[in-house]
């Protein structure tokens, strides 16, 4: 199917005020105690507002929208020849080469095809010794490279171990020094406890606070867990910071990333296996979700707006954190909220109108 814009919004009829008003109504209607929204275009921040129990300086847990930031560190190392996409991970991380995992490649990690989606490791993985001991215990769930299943945490623990092996730096410091600081952005992974005073905690508004919900609440609210900087979902930042990161991907200031490596990551679909959660082809590049031209972009795990072009790219996070960029307009959009609903699919109905409005901005 060829992509066609099917928006209810007439061109030029959507304003920033309409978008910000829709975000404010989420707080007023009780969908979330607080939220923050940012829109940037062509290197400029057009809007950054907060509603409810937050300010524009408040940082929010970004959950899995953190993943592309970690991947962007990997892109730097690929360009430098320190990491090779087809290389078997166990060649650099010998602890990983157990129970059949010796065949897993770097590409399979970033594409969520590695076969270890549920391998257990929590915030203690920030300690390299603990992390590598866990790697040795992990077992395959299915043959690497044969299917897609979202690796919510496991793959990114391995990615940052690779970062540490080839740079000699703590992964959190490496990402700050090599990615966020050059973009003019603050540290956003592994904030020390004493620097967390402006973080907005998550609030579970319904459902049983056990199991996965409890784990995610700990990521959002426990200062020690926050400080660990879980690479698959522990970023803490403002919506403006996230929108700024995506402006970096659109504009590549100072040639931070090798142009060919960046172009590959933002345009080339390398995983077309069906996503069993979303019910559509995953459309994964090395670290991003790509909208694609099949008309299914709104069902992919990036919360693309209806009018996003086929070239849009991004990544969502648990409890409807949104981050994407659209090269067709030069726009990047980020939305964070701290009201967590057990029914994330149902909660999407509250957030989809926002991302649709952002995509329809003139």
SS (H, E, C) 163-221: HHHHHCCCHHHHHHHHHHCCCCCCCCCCCCHHHCCCECCCEECCCCCCHHHHHHHHHHH
C-alpha distances out from residue 153 to 123, 158, 201, 266, 352, Å: 10, 9, 20, 22, 25
Q: Specify the CATH superfamily of domain 16-66+192-359.
A: DD-peptidase/beta-lactamase superfamily (3.40.710.10)
**What token pair was written down for 281?**
């082809």
- For 73-131, the pLDDT digits (tens) are 999 999 999 999 999 999 999 999 999 999 999 999 999 999 999 999 999 999 999 99
**What token pair was written down for 183?**
């973009």
Question: What is the enclosing helix (H) or strand (E) of 280?
Answer: strand 280-281
What pLDDT was estimated at residue 3?
19
Termini Cα distance of the chain? 26
Beta bridge partners of residue 335, listed in sequence order = 37, 322
Please count the residues of the chain: 362
Question: What is the enclosing helix (H) or strand (E) of 339?
Answer: strand 339-340
Can you list the pairs that 292-297 forms with residues at least 24 positions away whose Cβ atoms lie under 8 Å? 292/3, 293/1, 293/2, 293/3, 294/1, 294/3, 295/1, 295/2, 295/3, 295/4, 296/1, 297/3
What pLDDT was estimated at residue 10?
47
Q: Token pair 């129990």 is at which residue?
A: 53
Q: What CA–CA distance (Å, rounded) separates 140 from 116?
A: 6
- For 10-31, the pLDDT digits (tens) are 445 789 999 999 999 999 999 9
> Residue 177, Cβ neighbours under 10 Å: how many?
15
Q: For residue 107, with 0-12 CB atoms within 10 Å meaning exposed, 13-18 middle and 19 or more buried, which class applies? A: middle
**What is the DSSP pairing of strand 203-204 with strand 339-340?**
parallel
Q: What ranges do the domains of the chain cover? A: 16-66+192-359, 75-172
**What token pair was written down for 259?**
């142009």
C-alpha distances out from residue 77 to 51, 167, 193, 266, Å: 39, 9, 29, 16
Task: For the chain, list residues with pLDDT below 50.
Answer: 1-11
**What token pair was written down for 65?**
């929208």
**What token pair was written down for 16?**
């920033």
C-alpha distances out from residue 361 to 84, 238, 322, 331, 333, Å: 39, 21, 16, 9, 11
**What token pair was written down for 101?**
């995992």
What pLDDT was estimated at residue 5?
29
Note the pTM of the prediction, 2 decimals. 0.94
What pLDDT was estimated at residue 9?
42
Q: Token pair 């509603």 is at which residue?
A: 51
What pLDDT was estimated at residue 207?
73
What pLDDT was estimated at residue 262?
98
Q: What CA–CA distance (Å, rounded) separates 336 from 111?
A: 25
């Amino acid at each position: 199917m060829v992509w066609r814009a099917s928006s209810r919004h007439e061109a030029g009829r959507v304003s920033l005020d309409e978008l910000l008003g829709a975000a404010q109504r989420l707080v007023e209607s009780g969908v979330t105690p607080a939220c923050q929204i940012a829109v940037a275009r062509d290197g400029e921040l057009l809007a950054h507002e907060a509603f409810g129990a937050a300010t524009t300086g408040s940082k929010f847990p970004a959950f899995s929208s953190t993943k592309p930031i970690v991947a962007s560190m990997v892109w730097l190392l690929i360009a430098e020849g320190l990491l090779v996409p087809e290389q078997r991970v166990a060649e650099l991380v010998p602890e990983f080469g157990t129970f059949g995992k010796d065949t897993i490649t770097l590409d399979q990690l970033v594409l969520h095809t590695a076969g270890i989606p549920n391998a257990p490791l929590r915030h203690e993985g920030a300690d390299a010794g603990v992390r590598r001991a866990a790697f040795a215990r992990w077992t395959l769930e299915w043959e690497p490279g044969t299917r897609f299943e979202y690796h919510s945490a496991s793959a990114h623990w391995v990615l940052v171990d690779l970062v540490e092996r080839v740079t000699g730096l703590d992964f959190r410091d490496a990402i700050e020094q090599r990615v966020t600081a050059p973009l003019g952005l603050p540290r956003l992974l592994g904030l020390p406890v004493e620097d967390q005073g402006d973080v907005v905690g998550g609030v579970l508004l319904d459902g049983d606070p056990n199991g996965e919900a409890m784990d995610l609440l700990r990521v959002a609210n426990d200062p020690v867990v926050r400080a660990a900087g879980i690479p698959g979902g522990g970023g803490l930042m403002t919506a403006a910071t996230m929108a700024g990161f995506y402006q970096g991907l659109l504009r590549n200031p100072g040639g931070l990333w090798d142009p060919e490596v960046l172009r590959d990551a933002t345009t080339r679909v390398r995983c077309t296996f069906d996503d069993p959660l979303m019910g559509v082809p995953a459309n994964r590049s090395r670290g991003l979700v790509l909208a694609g031209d099949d008309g299914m972009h709104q069902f992919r795990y990036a919360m693309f707006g209806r009018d996003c072009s086929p070239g849009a790219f991004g990544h969502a996070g648990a409890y409807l954190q949104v981050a994407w960029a659209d090269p067709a307009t030069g726009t990047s959009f980020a939305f964070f909220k701290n009201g967590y609903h057990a029914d994330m699919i149902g909660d999407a109905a509250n957030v989809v109108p926002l991302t649709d409005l952002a995509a329809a901005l003139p």
